[in-house]
């Protein structure tokens, strides 16, 4: 039986949303059980034979600095949730809390896996093929070198194989052009490393991809550093909401347009559903000795339910074992060379 | 009188599009004249009292490597067009040709301005305020340091002041969060430099902005390195076309939807217009000793006409003098420090 630990206090809405999502989750998955972590008073309304409350006396705020979350709030619901994974009481943790705090606490408690220097955040974005593209890293690591990008590719491949059953998901390296000669020095070096990894059957490396390929669904996975990933994600959210706002304004700008809006309702509803990031909620924190999933802070019960489902699928399909197996297979490539003089600047020494 | 030099052979469509745009331009601007650069046979159909054909015997192809364009095709329409600016026969050059070749030739012939290490490409993107956000650099420079980002901010400020009359356009530094402590080492250093430049009245620095701020129109100018800029631009184009494709599919998926599409036609047309990059066509190549504007290769006559208008506005409003004046004012900050040991890695030494 798979057990998930849920930070019921996290996110913008707390138990009102998380508990509703937990109830739906338990109904959908008769084989699963939950550890509901939070202040007992806030969770007392919930009762289910496969749910157990685990008490925590503190809550990490959405604006709490990482240091406060990590050093001061040692009995926070977020920390206690991750502790359940560390103790083996749960196979995965889910939280909608502050991303920086979640990553810091997860890293501190669980540690990174051997062969991995930096954990990554891997969300999924909808693509034109009707599926999702997994992009990593999205925000955890702002200065990445080529070896980090190779590690992200290995981690992402394990995630996608666990979630979709595709044992050889394709990996694209985000670049300014498809040609191998393009890009920064880091990207060129990463391209070489990924090609080596493809030759040794560690990865299914497609080659360089460009920004629009994320949404075309050219590859199953797109690898980039956390700075580029974060900026790109936010820019695309910005464009999408500009378009949706624009449609709303245009459709309410006159009687004729309002009529058009009513007639178009099914189309606009389908568009909204298609762009709905709730369907893709639940980003994996990869590279740790335990499974942790991050929900959007603003998630509603539907979205938080998707994050729970994703964590459940990952645990059920042994994501952690898959990650370990892929790291072991790629070990000769992942072993970071001792920095030569010329490389010293590019490495995190 | 302002004279523009136009590479009539460049772009996906060549003279068919460029000449149509030139005719429209001459009608709109009775004070302007044009030098039409290209193969005389291809341009012989065009006759106008304020247009003169300048012969060139070669054309740079959209896929020509930079070396071929620069070293072999010495009588290309692109090169002859830029030569007109160098010779003082025209105040600005416009081409829809291959971006890499255009930048290389422009840089080779015109040279960069004192105080500027790397020219930048600065397009405008539509924002929710109904205006445009100028973003630079978009693709010319993949490895940028903090000083490059400061130079881009100065160049972008001159451009926006020339095109809009706003003498103090706001500048945002693209980052992974608004807080000054966030971002890579390069970004943190750039943030300090930009703050200094604001203190010395060289810039109107707003602070850090995130990817979605480009489309919110939070600042007039957004500064980033060419890698991030290129990936972001392409990703946002990818999202926008995914949405438009999706609407098209949904609206043609049944009789009811087709009816909705007909009723919605004015709204969809307005959306298309709003997202139409033709209205924003014409990216400035900044930091050179002459004005060069790059049109999208796929531009039609309307789009190419916008690029001509933009070049005309820039020339008419003395963009080059404005750039020089801003560089002179910011000279103490732009003077690159001799690299100290710790900085050597970050500098292009």
Domain boundaries, chain A: 1-111+288-317, 114-280+319-349
Query: Chain B residues with CB inside 8 Å of A270's CB?
Result: 246, 250
Q: What is the DSSP letter of B288?
A: B
E strand or H helix at B95: strand B92-95
| Residue B171: HSE in the Cβ half-sphere, 13 Å Cα cutoff | 31
Q: Who among B246, B271, B345 is closest to A250 (CB)?
A: B271
Using a CB-CB distance cutoff of 8 angstroms, which residues of chain A are in contact with residue B259?
Answer: 263
Q: For residue B52, list its beta bridge partners.
A: B35
> Measured between alpha carbons, how far is residue A55 from residues A7, A8, A86, B25, B142 in Å?
11, 11, 16, 72, 50
Please count the other Cβ atoms lying within 10 Å of the Cβ belonging to residue A65. 16
| Sheet order of strands, A120-122 included | A51-55, A32-38, A2-7, A92-95, A291-294, A283-286, A120-122
Which CATH number does B1-111+288-317 carry?
Answer: 3.40.718.10
Q: How far is A246 from chain B (nearest CA, A)?
A: 7
The whole-angstrom distance between residue B186's C-alpha and the CA centroid of its chain comes to: 24
Cβ distance B210 to A231 less than 8 Å, yes or no, reads: yes
Distances in whole angstroms, Cα of residue B21 to Cα of each of A140, B13, B285, B292: 47, 12, 21, 17
Contact A55, A79 (CB under 8 A): no
Question: Closest Cα of chain B to A94: distance in Å?
Answer: 23
In this structure, the dihedral spanned by the alpha carbons of residues B280, B282, B285 and B291, taken in order and rounded to 10 degrees, is -130
Burial A252-267 (b: 16+ CB within 10 A, else e): eeeeebeebbebbeeb
Give DSSP secondary structure letters for A214-265. Answer: HHHT-SSEEE--HHHHHHHHHHHHHHHHHHHHHHHHHHTSSHHHHHHHHHTH
Q: Which residue in B has a C-alpha nearest to residue A250's C-alpha?
A: B267
pLDDT band at B141; cut points 50, 70, 90? confident
Residue of A314, A313, A306, A316 whose CA lies nearest to A18: A306
CB-closest option in A230, A267, A344 to B251: A267
Using CA atoms, how far residue B182 sits from A139, A188, B188, in Å, is 11, 26, 7
A243/B245 CB distance under 8 A: no
Span A114-280+319-349 CATH architecture:
3-Layer(aba) Sandwich (3.40)
Reported as type and span, the H/E element at residue A18 is helix A15-28
Task: Select from A139, A227, A345 the Cβ nearest to the Cβ of B345.
Answer: A345
Nearest Cβ partner for B215 among A230, A232, A242: A242
Best mutation target among B234, B258, B268, B280 (most A Cβ atoms within 10 Å) is B234
Is there a contact between B238 and A211 if contact means CB atoms under 8 Å apart? yes
Size of interface A-B (CB pairs under 8 A): 178
The pLDDT of residue B263 is 65
Closest CA to B124 of B327, B313, B270, B254: B313
Q: Both tokens of residue B12? A: 């996906």
Does B36 score more than 80 pLDDT? yes
Task: Map residue A2 onto helix, strand or coil.
Answer: strand
Check CB contact under 8 Å for B226 and A251: no
pLDDT tens digit sequence for B147-185: 999 999 999 999 999 999 999 999 999 998 766 667 788
Give the model's pLDDT for residue A55. Answer: 97
- Taking CA atoms, what residue in B is nearest to A242? B128
For B180-238, the pLDDT digits (tens) are 667 788 899 999 999 999 999 999 999 999 999 999 999 999 999 999 998 998 888 88
What's the topology of domain B118-281?
Isopropylmalate Dehydrogenase (3.40.718)
Report the C-alpha gap between A142 and B166 in whole angstroms.
Answer: 34
pLDDT confidence of residue B169: 97
Which of B231, B240, B344 minimises the CB distance to A239? B240
Residue of A nearest to B173 (CA): A231
Is the Cβ pair B235, A214 closer than 8 Å? yes
Burial of B274 from C-beta contacts in 10 A (0-12 / 13-18 / 19+): middle
Write phi, then psi, for A184 (nearest 5 degrees).
-70, 170
- What dihedral do alpha carbons A318, A323, A326, A327 form, nearest 10°? -150
Chain A positions touching B227 (Cβ under 8 A) are: 176, 183-184, 187, 228
Token pair of A238 as six digits = 């910005």
Query: B173 near B191, Cβ under 8 Å?
Result: yes
Chain A residue nearest residue B267, CA to CA: A250
**Identity of the residue in A215, A231, A270 whose CB atom sits nearest the CB atom of B238:** A215
Q: Which residue reads 């130079």 in tokens?
A: B151
Element spanning B291, H or E: strand B291-294
Question: Residues B55-90: pLDDT tens digits?
Answer: 999 999 988 888 899 999 999 999 999 999 999 999
Measured in whole angstroms, how far is the alpha carbon of residue B14 from the centre of its chain? 20
Contact (CB<8Å) B260/A259 = no
In angstroms, the separation between the Cα of residue B284 and the nearest Cα of chain A is: 19
The count of other CB atoms within 10 Å of the CB of residue B61 is 15
Say whether B236 and A187 touch across the interface (CB within 8 A). Answer: no
* pLDDT for A138: 86
Sign of CA dihedral A304, A307, A311, A313: positive
Q: How far apart are CA B235 and CA B254, in angstroms?
A: 30
- Where helices occur in A114-225 by DSSP H, the ranges are 146-164, 185-199, 213-216
Q: A237 contacts in B (CB within 8 Å)?
A: 211-212
In this complex, which of B227, B243, B275 lies closest to A184 when CB atoms are compared?
B227
Task: Give the pLDDT score at B181.
Answer: 62
Q: What angle do CA A39, A44, A45 make, to 5 degrees?
A: 135
Calpha distance A18→A35 (Å, rounded): 12
Question: So what's the pLDDT on residue A239?
Answer: 84
Cβ within 8 Å, pair B264-A259 = no
- Please give the average per-residue pLDDT across B282-294, as a whole number: 95
Chain B residues with CB inside 8 Å of A227's CB? 176, 183-184, 187, 228
Burial of A52 (0-12, 13-18, 19+ CB in 10 A): middle
Measure A270 CA to nearest chain B CA, in Å.
Answer: 8
Residue of B nearest to A183 (CA): B142
Closest C-alpha to B139, from B170, B103, B94: B103
CA distance linking residue B229 with residue B235, whole number of Å: 10
DSSP B307: H
Is there a contact between A142 and B264 if contact means CB atoms under 8 Å apart? Answer: no
- Collect all residues of chain B within an 8 Å Cβ-Cβ radius of residue A251: 264, 267
Residue A235 to residue B237, Cβ atoms within 8 A: no
Q: Look-up: residue for tokens 């000795």? A: A289
Which of B348, B115, B228 lies closest to A234, judged by CA?
B228
Per-residue confidence in pLDDT tens, chain A, 349 aa: 999 999 999 999 999 999 999 999 999 999 999 999 999 999 999 999 999 999 999 999 988 888 899 999 999 999 999 999 999 999 999 999 988 899 999 999 999 999 898 899 999 988 888 889 999 998 667 888 999 999 999 999 999 999 999 999 999 999 987 666 677 888 999 999 999 999 999 999 999 999 999 999 999 999 999 999 989 988 888 888 888 777 777 777 666 666 666 666 666 677 766 666 667 889 999 999 999 999 988 889 999 999 999 999 999 999 999 999 999 988 888 876 554 444 444 433 3
Residue A241 falls in which region: left (phi positive, over 0), alpha (psi -120 to 50) or beta: alpha
Contact (CB, 8 A) for B37 and B97? no
Looking at residue B7, its pLDDT comes to: 98
B158–chain A nearest CA distance, Å: 25
What phi-psi label fits residue A38: left (phi over 0), alpha (psi between -120 and 50 degrees) or beta?
left
Whether the predicted pLDDT of B338 surpasses 70: no
Contacts of A245 in chain B (CB under 8 A): 128
What ranges make up the beta strands (E) of chain A?
Answer: 2-7, 32-38, 51-55, 92-95, 120-122, 124-126, 132-136, 170-174, 204-209, 221-223, 283-286, 291-294
Helix or strand (DSSP H, E) at B205: strand B204-209
Averaged confidence pLDDT in chain B: 88
Residue A153: helix, strand or coil by DSSP?
helix
Note whether B176 contacts A230, CB cutoff 8 Å: yes
pLDDT for B32:
97
ipTM over 0.90: no
Query: Which residue on chain B is closest to A264 by alpha carbon?
Result: B260
Report the pLDDT value the prediction gives residue B346, as an integer from 0 to 100.
39
Question: For residue B343, what is the nearest residue in chain A, using CA coordinates?
Answer: A345
């Amino acid at each position: 039986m798979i057990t998930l630990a849920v930070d019921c206090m996290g996110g913008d809405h707390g138990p009102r949303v998380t508990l509703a999502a937990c109830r739906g989750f338990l109904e959908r998955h008769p084989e699963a059980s939950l550890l509901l972590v939070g202040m007992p008073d806030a969770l007392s309304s919930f009762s289910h034979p496969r749910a157990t409350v685990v008490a925590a006396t503190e809550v990490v705020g959405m604006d709490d600095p990482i240091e406060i979350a990590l050093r001061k709030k040692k009995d926070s619901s977020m920390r206690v949730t991750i502790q359940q994974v560390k103790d083996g009481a749960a196979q995965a943790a889910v939280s909608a809390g502050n991303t920086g705090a979640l990553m810091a606490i997860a890293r501190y408690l669980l540690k990174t896996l051997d062969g991995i220097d930096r954990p990554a955040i891997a969300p999924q974005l909808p693509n034109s093929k009707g599926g999702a593209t997994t992009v990593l890293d999205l925000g955890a690591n702002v200065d990445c070198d080529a070896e980090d990008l190779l590690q992200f590719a290995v981690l992402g491949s394990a995630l996608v194989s666990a979630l979709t059953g595709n044992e050889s998901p394709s990996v694209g390296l985000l670049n300014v052009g498809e040609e191998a000669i393009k890009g920064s020095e880091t990207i060129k070096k990463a391209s070489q490393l990924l090609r080596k990894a493809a030759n040794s059957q560690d990865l299914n490396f497609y080659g360089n991809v460009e920004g629009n390929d994320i949404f075309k669904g050219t590859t199953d996975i797109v690898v980039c550093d956390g700075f580029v990933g974060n900026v790109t994600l936010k820019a695309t959210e910005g464009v999408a909401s500009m378009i949706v706002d624009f449609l709303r304004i245009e459709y309410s700008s006159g009687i004729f347009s309002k009529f058009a809006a009513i007639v178009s309702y099914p189309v606009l509803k389908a568009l909204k559903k298609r762009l709905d990031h709730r369907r893709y909620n639940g980003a994996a924190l990869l590279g740790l000795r335990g499974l942790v999933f991050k929900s959007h802070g603003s998630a509603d019960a539907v979205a938080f339910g998707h994050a729970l489902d994703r964590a459940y699928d990952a645990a059920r399909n042994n994501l952690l074992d898959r990650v370990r197996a892929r790291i072991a297979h790629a070990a000769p490539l992942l072993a970071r060379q001792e920095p030569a003089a010329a490389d010293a600047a590019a490495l995190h020494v």
